[in-house]
C-alpha cells in the first residue's frame, strides 16, 4: 500500500488509527499491571520529555518558557539533569504530560485571574520526545527496576521544580547548595555564584552508591532567595514530618494505604516555613495546584511515586481549590473537564542522555485528555481549528530546531521524521494512555503526518499540494441560524469518531464536502457549521424541531 496522508480537514476523506511496530512496542512498555499482581508489574514505562528552558534547544516554545520563567543566578547554562515524566498505565490521572504549549503562552497556571490569563494550554496538543528503548541508559540496573528492592532513582509524584528550584543538602559541608546561594545549617542564605542547586548534580539516588543526587533536595524560595528553603512541612502529633531527612526525601512511614496516609498528613498539618506565611493552605482554605511544588518530596523508585501520584488524584477534591489553574471538574468518569489537572510526575534524568536524539524513539504529539469529549476513539481531528494551527506551528518549530527531519527517508534516523500520537482516554475506571498513528494535514498546509503501511512508519512530511476539489453539485440549501443539530438533538452524526468535525473549512467547502464525500453512517442531508471555530460537521436525518438553539452555530439543510 502506498503512503497514506489522511488529513484533518477538507483534504482528508477517511479517518483511521494505525499501529506500527513502534507504537506496539511503546504500548507494551506502558502496559497496565495485571489484576492481582500489584502496582508497577506490567510495563516498565517510558520517559516523555519536552524541550524547555533547561535544554540547549533553541525553539520558540523554549524562548517563551524562558521569558515566562526567569532562571535565578547560576541557571544561565543547561542543567546536568532535566525533568521528564514517567508514563505508565498504572497511573490513573489525566494530563500526564506537562502542559507547556499552547494557550496562555503554555503556562499551566492558566486560566487564572491571578496569572492574568483567560485561556490555558489544556485544549492544545503537547509535543516532545519519548525515550523507551534507551531507558537502561537513564536508570541504573534498569532490568530490575520493578523489584521491591530497587531504589537507584529519584522520582517526584508531582510537578516539583526539581532541576531549577531545589537545594541539594551536602552532609559533609553541613549546608545546602542552592541556585546561586549557599545555605548553612541554622544560618541564612548568602549569594555564591559557585553554587548552582540540585539540577547541576549527576542523576540518581545519592544514598544508593551510584547516584549523584541530581534533582534531589528541598524547595528554594527563588523569589526571595535570602529566605532560603520554603518547602512545606506537615507534622503529626509525634513531630513526624512528611519528609524524613534534610534532602526532603518522602517519609516512607507514610506509604501505607497506597500513600494516602501521606496525603492525609499533608492536609491535616501543612505548615509554611517562617516568612512563607502566604502559603496559608490548608488552614485558610484549599490549595492551588502549585502547592504541590512546595510539598513535593522525592522517592527512590517508580512504584511508590505512582501510588502517591494516584492518591493525590483520588483526593483532589479534598486539597485543590481549582483556582490556579481555574477548573470545574465534573464527577462524571472520563469527563473532558478533568483534563485541567496537573497530572504529570517529575523525574530528573541525565540531560546528556534524554536530550540526545539518538536515544529517542519518536517525537510524540500528546492530545488533550478526552479530546473528542467522550467519543469511543479520540482523534487529532477533534482539535479546534486554532489548536490545529498551533500544533502545526509547533511542528514547524521542531523542524526548524532540528528535532524533526521530514521525509520518509528519515523515518528511521535520529533525529528523523518518526512521529507518534499519544491519546488519553478513560478506560475501565481510570485514565489510560496509548500510542498510535493517524494522518494529519495542518491547516497552514506546511506539514502532514503520514502513515506508510509498506514501510511500517508514521512520519512527518512536507504538505502535499491540495487536490482540486470537484465542483459542487447543484443543490438548494436552507439556513437555520443559531441552530445546532447533532446526535440525540435532531440529527445523526456522520463523522468518525462521533462528535469529531470534518475539519476546518469555509461554509462553501463544507457544503461541497457533504455532497461529495460519502459517510458509511448514512446520507449527508445537512451540515452544522461552527462559525466561531470554522469547523464543519456533516449531519443526516435532520429534524429541526429537535435541534438545539445556540449562538455560534448554523445548520444548513439541503434539497436537491
Whether 226 shows a pLDDT value over 60: the answer reads yes
Between residues 334 and 456, which one has the greater pLDDT?
456
pLDDT-based confidence at residue 58 (cuts at 50, 70, 90): low
| Cβ-proximal residues to 504 (8 Å cutoff; 6+ apart), any chain | 8, 9, 384, 385, 388, 443, 533, 534, 535, 536
pLDDT-based confidence at residue 351 (cuts at 50, 70, 90): very high
Of 554, 305, 309, the closest CA to residue 431 belongs to 309
Q: Are strands 362-366 and 419-427 parallel, antiparallel or unpaired?
A: parallel
Q: What is the chain's mean pLDDT, rounded?
A: 91
Mean pLDDT of 164-171: 96
pLDDT-based confidence at residue 348 (cuts at 50, 70, 90): very high
pLDDT-based confidence at residue 356 (cuts at 50, 70, 90): very high
Of all residues in the chain, what percent carry a pLDDT higher than 90?
A: 79
Handedness of CA 230, 232, 234, 240 (dihedral sign): negative
| Cβ-proximal residues to 245 (8 Å cutoff; 6+ apart), any chain | none
CB count, 10 Å around CB of 333?
A: 11
Q: What is the pLDDT of residue 1?
A: 36
Residues 487-513 have pLDDT tens digits of 999 999 998 777 888 887 889 889 988
With left for phi above 0 and alpha for psi between -120 and 50, is residue 282 left, alpha or beta? alpha
Report the distance separating Cα 437 and Cα 202, nearest Å.
36
Beta bridge partners of 48: 85, 130
Mean pLDDT of 167-195: 96
Q: Are strands 490-493 and 486-487 parallel, antiparallel or unpaired?
A: parallel
Q: Are strands 218-219 and 166-170 parallel, antiparallel or unpaired?
A: antiparallel
Domains (ranges, CATH) in the chain?
21-351 (no CATH), 476-559 (3.50.4.10)
Least confident of 43-52, 56-65, 274-283, 446-455: 56-65
pLDDT-based confidence at residue 470 (cuts at 50, 70, 90): low
| Cβ-proximal residues to 90 (8 Å cutoff; 6+ apart), any chain | 32, 33, 39, 40, 42, 306, 310
Of 342, 337, 357, 327, the closest CA to residue 295 belongs to 342
Of 239, 106, 219, 200, the closest CA to residue 160 belongs to 219
Whether 174 shows a pLDDT value over 50: the answer reads yes
pLDDT-based confidence at residue 65 (cuts at 50, 70, 90): very low
Whether 7 shows a pLDDT value over 50: the answer reads no
pLDDT-based confidence at residue 75 (cuts at 50, 70, 90): low
Of all residues in the chain, what percent carry a pLDDT higher than 70?
A: 92
pLDDT-based confidence at residue 123 (cuts at 50, 70, 90): very high
Report the distance separating Cα 200 and Cα 82, nearest Å.
9
pTM: 0.85
Mean pLDDT of 353-380: 93
Mean pLDDT of 131-147: 98
Q: What is the pLDDT of residue 10?
A: 30
HEC assignment per residue over 353-399: HHCCHHHCCEEEEECCCCCCCCCCCCCHHHCCHHHHHHHHHHHHHHH
Task: Judge contact between 27 and 435, C-beta under 8 A.
Answer: yes
Between residues 274 and 499, which one has the greater pLDDT?
274
Mean pLDDT of 306-334: 95
- DSSP letter for each residue of 18-78: B--HHHHHHHHHTPPPPTTS-TT-S---EEEE---TTSS---HHHHHHHHHSPPPTTTTS-
Of 90, 125, 35, the closest CA to residue 394 belongs to 125
Handedness of CA 167, 173, 174, 175 (dihedral sign): negative
Report the distance separating Cα 169 and Cα 175, nearest Å.
6
Between residues 146 and 76, which one has the greater pLDDT?
146
Determine which helix (DSSP H) or strand (DSSP E) holds 219, and give its type and residue range: strand 218-219
Q: What is the pLDDT of residue 389?
A: 92
Mean pLDDT of 524-546: 92
pLDDT-based confidence at residue 160 (cuts at 50, 70, 90): very high
Whether 8 shows a pLDDT value over 70: the answer reads no
Handedness of CA 384, 385, 387, 392 (dihedral sign): positive
Query: Is the bond into 497 cis (omega within 30 degrees of 0)?
Result: yes
pLDDT-based confidence at residue 5 (cuts at 50, 70, 90): very low
Q: What is the pLDDT of residue 166?
A: 98
- Output b/e per residue, 542-556; b: 16+ Cβ within 10 A: beeeebeeeeebbbb
- Output b/e per residue, 92-105; b: 16+ Cβ within 10 A: bbbbbbbbbbbbbb
Q: What is the pLDDT of residue 61?
A: 56
Furthest C-alpha separation in the chain: 85
Q: What is the pLDDT of residue 466?
A: 65
Report the distance separating Cα 496 and Cα 474, nearest Å.
26
Rounded to a whole number of angstroms, the distance between the first and last alpha carbons of the chain is 37
CB count, 10 Å around CB of 323?
A: 17
Task: Judge contact between 232 and 198, C-beta under 8 A.
Answer: no
Question: In Å, how far are 348, 395, 494, 500 from 491, measured between CA atoms?
Answer: 50, 36, 9, 14
Of 528, 468, 521, 455, the closest CA to residue 494 belongs to 521
Task: Judge contact between 499 and 538, C-beta under 8 A.
Answer: no
Beta bridge partners of 40: none
Cell matching residue 224: 526571595
pLDDT-based confidence at residue 6 (cuts at 50, 70, 90): very low
Q: What is the pLDDT of residue 418?
A: 98
Whether 375 shows a pLDDT value over 90: the answer reads no
Report the distance separating Cα 115 and Cα 222, nearest Å.
18
Q: What is the pLDDT of residue 252?
A: 98
Provide the residue count of the chain.
Answer: 560
- Output b/e per residue, 39-50; b: 16+ Cβ within 10 A: bbebbbbbbbbb
Residues 9-57 have pLDDT tens digits of 333 333 478 999 999 999 999 999 999 999 999 999 999 999 987 776 6
Cell matching residue 128: 516532545
Task: Judge contact between 262 and 254, C-beta under 8 A.
Answer: yes
Amino acid at each position: 500500500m502506498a503512503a497514506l496522508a489522511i488529513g484533518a480537514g477538507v483534504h482528508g476523506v477517511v479517518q483511521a488509527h494505525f499501529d506500527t511496530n513502534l507504537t506496539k512496542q511503546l504500548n507494551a512498555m506502558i502496559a497496565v499491571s495485571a489484576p492481582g499482581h500489584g502496582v508497577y508489574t506490567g510495563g516498565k514505562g517510558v520517559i516523555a520529555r519536552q524541550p524547555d528552558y533547561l535544554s540547549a534547544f533553541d525553539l520558540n516554545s523554549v524562548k517563551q518558557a524562558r521569558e515566562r520563567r526567569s532562571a535565578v543566578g547560576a541557571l544561565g547554562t543547561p542543567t546536568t539533569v532535566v525533568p521528564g515524566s514517567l508514563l505508565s498505565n498504572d497511573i490513573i490521572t489525566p494530563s500526564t504530560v506537562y502542559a507547556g504549549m499552547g494557550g496562555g503562552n503554555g503556562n499551566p497556571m492558566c486560566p487564572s485571574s491571578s496569572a492574568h490569563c483567560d485561556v490555558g494550554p489544556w485544549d492544545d496538543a503537547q509535543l516532545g520526545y519519548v525515550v523507551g528503548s534507551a531507558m537502561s541508559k537513564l536508570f541504573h540496573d534498569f532490568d530490575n527496576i520493578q523489584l521491591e528492592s530497587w531504589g537507584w532513582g529519584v522520582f517526584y509524584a508531582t510537578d516539583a521544580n526539581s532541576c531549577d528550584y531545589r537545594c541539594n543538602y551536602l552532609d559533609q559541608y553541613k549546608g545546602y547548595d542552592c541556585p546561586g546561594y549557599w545555605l548553612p545549617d541554622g544560618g541564612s542564605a548568602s549569594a555564591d555564584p559557585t553554587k548552582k542547586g540540585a539540577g547541576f548534580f549527576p542523576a540518581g539516588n545519592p544514598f544508593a552508591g551510584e547516584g549523584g543526587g541530581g534533582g534531589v533536595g528541598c524547595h528554594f524560595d527563588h523569589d526571595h532567595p535570602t529566605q532560603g528553603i520554603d518547602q512545606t512541612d506537615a507534622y503529626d502529633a509525634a513531630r513526624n514530618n512528611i519528609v524524613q531527612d534534610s534532602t526532603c526525601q518522602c517519609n516512607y512511614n507514610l506509604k501505607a494505604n497506597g500513600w494516602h496516609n501521606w496525603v492525609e498528613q499533608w492536609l491535616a498539618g501543612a505548615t509554611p516555613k517562617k516568612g512563607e506565611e502566604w502559603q496559608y493552605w490548608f488552614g485558610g482554605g484549599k490549595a492551588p495546584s502549585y502547592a504541590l511544588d512546595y510539598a513535593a518530596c522525592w522517592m527512590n523508585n517508580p512504584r511508590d511515586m505512582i501510588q502517591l501520584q494516584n492518591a493525590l488524584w483520588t483526593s483532589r477534591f479534598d486539597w485543590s481549590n481549582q483556582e490556579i489553574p481555574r477548573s470545574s471538574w465534573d464527577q462524571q468518569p472520563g469527563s473532558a473537564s478533568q483534563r485541567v489537572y496537573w497530572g504529570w510526575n517529575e523525574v530528573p534524568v541525565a540531560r546528556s542522555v534524554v536530550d540526545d536524539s539518538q536515544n529517542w524513539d519518536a517525537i510524540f504529539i500528546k492530545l488533550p485528555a478526552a479530546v473528542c469529549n467522550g467519543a469511543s476513539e479520540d482523534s487529532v481531528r477533534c482539535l479546534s481549528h486554532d489548536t490545529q494551527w498551533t500544533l502545526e506551528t509547533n511542528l514547524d518549530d521542531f523542524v526548524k530546531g532540528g528535532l524533526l527531519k521530514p521525509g520518509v527517508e528519515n523515518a528511521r534516523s535520529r533525529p528523523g521524521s518518526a512521529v507518534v500520537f499519544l491519546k488519553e482516554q478513560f478506560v475501565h475506571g481510570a485514565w489510560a494512555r496509548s500510542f498510535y498513528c493517524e494522518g494529519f494535514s495542518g491547516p497552514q498546509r506546511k506539514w502532514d503526518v503520514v502513515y506508510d503501511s509498506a514501510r511500517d512508519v508514521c512520519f512527518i512530511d512536507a504538505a502535499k499540494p491540495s487536490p482540486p476539489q470537484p465542483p459542487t453539485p447543484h443543490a438548494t440549501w436552507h439556513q437555520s441560524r443559531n441552530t445546532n443539530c447533532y446526535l440525540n438533538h435532531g440529527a445523526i452524526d456522520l463523522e468518525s469518531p462521533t462528535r469529531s468535525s470534518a475539519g476546518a473549512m469555509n461554509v462553501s467547502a463544507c457544503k461541497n464536502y457533504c455532497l461529495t464525500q460519502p459517510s458509511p453512517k448514512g446520507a449527508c442531508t445537512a451540515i452544522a457549521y461552527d462559525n466561531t471555530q470554522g469547523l464543519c460537521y456533516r449531519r443526516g436525518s435532520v429534524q429541526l424541531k429537535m435541534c438545539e438553539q445556540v449562538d455560534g452555530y448554523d445548520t444548513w439543510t439541503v434539497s436537491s
